[in-house]
A = this chain, B = another copy of it.
Amino acid sequence: MALIVQKYGGTSMGSPERIKNVAKRVARWQSQGHQIVVVVSAMSGETNRLIGLAREVQAVPDPRELDVMVSTGEQVTIALLAMALKGIGVDAKSYTGAQVKILTDSSHTKARILDIEERNMRADLDAGKVIIVAGFQGVDEHGAITTLGRGGSDTTGVALAAALNADECQIYTDVDGVYTTDPRIVPEARKLDRITFEEMLEMASLGSKVLQIRSVEFAGKYKVKLRVLSSFEEEGKETNGTLITLEEDSTMEQPIISGIAFNRDEAKLTVLGVPDKPGIAYQILGPISEANIDVDMIIQNVGHDGTTDFSFTVNRGDYERAKKILEESVKQHVGARSIIGDEKICKVSAVGVGMRSHPGVASQMFRTLAEEGINIQMISTSEIKISVVVDEKYLELAVRVLHRAFGLDQ
């Protein structure tokens, strides 16, 4: 008998029919002798509907009151799932975040979990009940309702799994696991049976958005066994999804590269000919950061003639704004020669813990791209990831050839 936390997202809870399907799935797991805690999101679209209503009343809704309102989305789905389970003879009980209680700080709309009381849930589990907990919400020390911010239901699932010392936290979504790359681009893409937390973090932040990054960090920190599964697979045809593990699997041959991630939503900016002296990075990126623009890759090469070129990438939607800041507030201040940019770029990354012990991954990547005539504009590396910026038009080609070159097509 295992204790399993299952999390179902808004699409899985999107209609009475789908909720009944989730109930059947939960019932099957319970009938196998497991104790089940289910975390649910609001019905898809409901959170946005509530936020829209709030904005009609107050242009910038009060955060405390917005949380009171938005938290009702999950309060509805916990009740509906409990009803669906009771309707098929499974004893179930719903819990709001406050009822659990999931104690958070008081940062409304983006609260952090501080503590989870497990006593009541444990008693109900021992009494044979399925526990259904509202995702995305908690309560602060004053009893005010808080929310964890977008996608916070994943975090609720992982936090509950940690608090209850669950055997596994299953995240049900509309895909059946984590793939070596996007199957829409590479038909040969394969589902990974397992992936490490580190790899998952790199994959997620690079655009393969299956899980909320924060919940993955959380799972890694608290050593929660995390599994991504599909909630749309038919009975009897379920796969095991992808297990996200804490450690590299030493029992089997480890592939060097686990996947090829990419992000087409990037733009590149370069400040040419800035004096090569201390403080220059801050002088360039300070104004960008103050304008609340997220910077992704940052590259500064060694200088010559006392000057250097400084490049970075931003979300494509921030490109014009960032360029204007550089032109108006930075260029003259730092004594740069000129500002150039390109919003038709993309980033392609090879991710894998195996590269730690396998030198030569980078050169293989560069050679593969060169053989296809793809020019590399920027390079950035971490311990388990190599990212390159290339012209947007090469995205699909680059992903495909790298996927094959690293043996992921199999």
Q: How far is the CA of A80 from the CA of B49 in the complex (A)?
A: 13
Nearest-Cβ distance from residue A276 to partner chain B, whole angstroms:
51
Is B65 a contact of A75 with CB atoms below 8 Å? no
**Binary per-residue interface labels of chain A (48-65) against chain B in the complex, 1 for a CB within 8 Å, 0 otherwise:** 001001101111011011
Given contacts A19-B57, A56-B16, A57-B84, contact A68 B62 (CB under 8 A): no
The segment from A93-101, A244-252, A314-322 that touches chain B is A93-101
Q: How far is the CA of A76 from the CA of B51 in the complex (A)?
A: 11
Name the residue of chain B whose CB is nearest to the CB of A72: B72
Residues in B with CB closer than 8 Å to A56 are: 16
Residues in B with CB closer than 8 Å to A337 are: none
This chain: how many copies in the complex?
2
Is A69 a contact of B65 with CB atoms below 8 Å? no
**Binary per-residue interface labels of chain A (80-100) against chain B in the complex, 1 for a CB within 8 Å, 0 otherwise:** 101110110000011010110
Name the residue of chain B whose CB is nearest to the CB of A84: B57
Is A65 a contact of B79 with CB atoms below 8 Å? yes
Nearest-Cβ distance from residue A102 to partner chain B, whole angstroms:
14
Residues in B with CB closer than 8 Å to A99 are: 143-144
Q: How far is the CA of A116 from the CA of B57 in the complex (A)?
A: 30
Is A76 a contact of B86 with CB atoms below 8 Å? no
Q: Does A66 contact B (CB under 8 A)?
A: yes
Residues in B with CB closer than 8 Å to A75 are: 68-69, 71-72, 75
Residues in B with CB closer than 8 Å to A65 are: 78-80, 82-83, 86, 94
Name the residue of chain B whose CB is nearest to the CB of A20: B57
Is B80 a contact of A54 with CB atoms below 8 Å? yes
Nearest-Cβ distance from residue A98 to partner chain B, whole angstroms:
7
**Binary per-residue interface labels of chain A (342-360) against chain B in the complex, 1 for a CB within 8 Å, 0 otherwise:** 0000000000000000000
Nearest-Cβ distance from residue A44 to partner chain B, whole angstroms:
14
Q: How far is the CA of A306 from the CA of B54 in the complex (A)?
A: 71
Is B69 a contact of A80 with CB atoms below 8 Å? yes
Q: How many residues of A contact B (CB 8 A)?
A: 37
Is B66 a contact of A79 with CB atoms below 8 Å? yes
Given contacts A16-B57, A19-B57, contact A79 B69 (CB under 8 A): yes
Given contacts A16-B53, A99-B143, A143-B99, contact A69 B58 (CB under 8 A): no
Residues in B with CB closer than 8 Å to A72 are: 72, 75-76
Is A94 a contact of B68 with CB atoms below 8 Å? yes
Contacting B at CB under 8 A, from A24-78, are 50, 53-54, 56-59, 61-62, 64-66, 68-69, 71-72, 75-76, 78
Interface centre among A54, A65, A84 (most CB of B within 10 A): A65
Residues in B with CB closer than 8 Å to A93 are: 64
Is B76 a contact of A59 with CB atoms below 8 Å? no
Nearest-Cβ distance from residue A76 to partner chain B, whole angstroms:
5
Q: How far is the CA of A10 from the CA of B84 in the complex (A)?
A: 29
Q: How far is the CA of A20 from the CA of B54 in the complex (A)?
A: 12
Is A62 a contact of B82 with CB atoms below 8 Å? yes
Nearest-Cβ distance from residue A160 to partner chain B, whole angstroms:
18
- Chain A residues with CB under 8 Å of chain B are 16, 19-20, 50, 53-54, 56-59, 61-62, 64-66, 68-69, 71-72, 75-76, 78-80, 82-84, 86-87, 93-94, 96, 98-99, 143-145
Task: List 17 A-B residue pairs with CB atoms under 8 Å apart, sorted by A's residue number.
Answer: A16-B56, A50-B76, A53-B76, A54-B83, A57-B84, A57-B87, A58-B83, A58-B86, A58-B87, A62-B86, A64-B82, A65-B82, A65-B86, A66-B83, A68-B79, A68-B96, A99-B144
Closest 10 CB pairs of A and B: A72-B72, A69-B79, A16-B56, A58-B83, A68-B79, A65-B79, A58-B87, A65-B82, A57-B83, A16-B57
A57-B83, A62-B83 known; 4 new pairs, CB 8 Å cut-off, are: A64-B93, A68-B82, A72-B75, A98-B98
